[in-house]
Amino acid sequence: MATIAPPPTDDDAIVAPATYADPDAYDRLFARLRAEDPVHWTEPADYRPFWSVTRFADIQEVERHAAQFLNAPRMMLRPVSVEEQVRKLTGGSALMLRDIVHMDGRDHMVHRKLTQAWFMPGRLKALEEDLRALARHFVGQMVERGGSCEFVDDVAVWYPLRVIMRILGVPAEDEARMLVLTRDIFGPDDPDIRKGPKPDLATTIKGFTDYFAELTEARRRDPSDDIATLLSTAEVDGQPIGTLELMSYYIIIATAGHDTTSSTIAGGLLALLQNSGEMARLRADPAILAAGGVDEMVRWVTPVKHFFRTAVEDYALRGKTIRAGDHLMMCYPSANRDADAFPDPFRFDLSRPPNRHLGFGYGPHLCLGQHLAKMEIRIFFEELLARVDAIELAGDPAWVASNFVSGLKRLPIAYKAR
């Protein structure tokens, strides 16, 4: 007789990739946690236990106290088997990489500073026309498809990838290789995204480091106006940046810079298609995008589903005692639906004032690329709506099964060129 699997416990559902492929299931589960046990001790099978922090104010509190809650050594959800694999490969360390997400305190500050100015609005302004040309190119390709497309695979994946690779200094012909590597390192196991088994972490990291070592050499010989040039000559305290830190820097910018933005573009478009009043307002006044509309898309989609912190000392959080050494999962999408922070949080409102969402995180690790991401998204929608009319859903949307960075995997649409 066939046995029926028991329903997953809340703790298993919190980590289950399937929860993230079903926005209603996510909302039901996390609305209950926010109401009943907002700082919830979580013991899922196959993972080390942690506190799930689900409310806006509590995540802000944790991130604000960066000296008490460290990024290292646990950055994200990984099954115990994968954590053991990492320790075996590194000879005991929990970390394969040493990028700014893994750093704390002064180390974090000095490494972040190396590129921070590059990502500020003043510096990014010089890229506006370049990005607009790219957005026009991808919208143009969409129009040439003749009235319908699979928006995620045909458009949303490629535009942010092209942008971040340009900024890094990776030529267009190497982008497909970068897409494979970035999906191998942090990407989902969703069979619709991944054809075949995931290579082990060491192989993927070697793929990246071989590539970026060559790029570094090329820029040292022949400098250009890109992040590779900046990193290849970067110094910390008068010494060249270490090889592990350098390679990790490339990898974090390459990986953080596109899945997040493409998920927001696709999810933002779906939200507009499902809220025709907001679409009409945006068409009538595209300035809404810069005035907060893009932030509402980021809040709505919240592509980064969590990051972790580790407590260095005992700390009382919403009546719970977090012990030194305990881990905390900051559940960003849940915080961005917290009714204490957002009136009517399940309403998509491009003019929501104020909109201090946690989609880009908070505190000293606040997303380095947030201004770039916002500019990219704004320009994309400006170009899309100027060129394409009467967009509608042409099938069911579907979401990636992943508990880390994820969004839509399918968004079939039909439209008319203007």
Distance CA 308, CA 410 (A): 28
8 A C-beta contact, residue 390 and residue 263: no
Q: Which stretch binds ligand HEM (CB under 6 A): 84-92, 128-136, 267-275, 358-366?
A: 358-366
Judged by CB under 6 A, the chain residues 371 through 410 that form the site for ligand HEM are: 372-373
Report the nearest approach of ligand HEM to the CB of residue 228 (Å).
Answer: 13
Nearest distance from C-beta of residue 362 to ligand HEM, angstroms: 5
Interface region with ligand HEM, contact rule CB under 6 A, candidates 238-246, 338-346, 355-363, 378-386 = 355-363
Specify the residue, 317 or 415, whose C-beta has the smaller distance to ligand HEM: 317
The answer to whether residues 415 and 154 touch, using CB atoms and an 8 Å cutoff, is no
Contacting ligand HEM (CB under 6 A), which of 360, 380, 404, 415? 360
Q: How far apart are the first and last CA of the chain?
A: 60
Are the CB atoms for 368 and 100 separated by under 8 Å?
A: yes
In 96-155, DSSP assigns E strands to 148-150
Nearest to 364 by CA among 57, 68, 98, 124: 68
Instruction: Using CB under 6 A, pick the residue from 287, 366, 390, 414 that binds ligand HEM.
Output: 366
C-alpha to C-alpha distance for 106 and 91, rounded to whole angstroms: 26
Burial 185-211 (b: 16+ CB within 10 A, else e): bbbbebeebeeeeeeebeebbebbbeb
**363 binds ligand HEM per the rule CB under 6 A:** yes
CA atoms within 13 A on the CB side of 3: 3
* Footprint of ligand HEM on 319-348 (CB under 6 A): 332
* In the block, residue with structure tokens 């700014």: 100
State the Rg of the chain over Cα. Answer: 21
Q: 50 in helix, strand or coil?
A: strand
* Residue with Cβ nearer ligand HEM (2 or 126): 126
Interface pick for ligand HEM out of 44, 169, 293, 361 (rule CB under 6 A): 361
Nearer to ligand HEM, 232 or 260 (CB): 260
Binding mask 237-276 for ligand HEM (x = CB under 6 A): ---------------xx--xx--xx--x------------
β-bridge partners, 51: 41, 328
Binding to ligand HEM (CB under 6 A) within 56-115 occurs at 63, 100-101, 112
**Which letter does DSSP use for residue 405 in this model?**
B
CB closer to ligand HEM, 264 vs 355: 264
Q: Hey, what are 150's tokens?
A: 């699979």
Query: Per CB under 6 A, which of residues 147..166 are in contact with ligand HEM?
Result: 164
Please identify, using beta-carbon distances, which residue of 86 and 373 lies nearer to ligand HEM.
373
Contacts of residue 255, defined as CB under 8 A and 6 or more positions apart, other chains included, come to 182, 185, 186
Return the number of the residue (373 or 385) whose C-beta is nearest ligand HEM.
Answer: 373
- Taking the complex as a whole, the smallest distance from the CB of residue 367 to ligand HEM amounts, in Å, to 3
Determine which residue in the list 251, 331, 341, 367 makes contact with ligand HEM, applying CB under 6 A.
367
> Do you know the residue count of the chain?
418
Least separation in angstroms between residue 115's CB and ligand HEM is 8
Closer to ligand HEM by Cβ: residue 164 or 331: 164
Question: Out of 20, 307, 308, 399, which residue is the one contacting ligand HEM (CB under 6 A)?
Answer: 307
Binding mask 190-209 for ligand HEM (x = CB under 6 A): --------------------
Q: Which of 169, 369, 397, 407 binds ligand HEM (CB under 6 A)?
A: 369
By C-beta, is 158 or 360 nearer to ligand HEM? 360
Long-range (24+ apart) CB contacts under 8 A made by 145-149 are 147/414, 147/415, 147/416, 147/417, 148/394, 148/412, 148/413, 148/414, 148/415, 149/412, 149/413
What residues make contact with ligand HEM under the rule CB under 6 A? 63, 100-101, 112, 164, 252-253, 256-257, 260-261, 264, 298, 303-304, 307, 332, 359-363, 365-369, 372-373
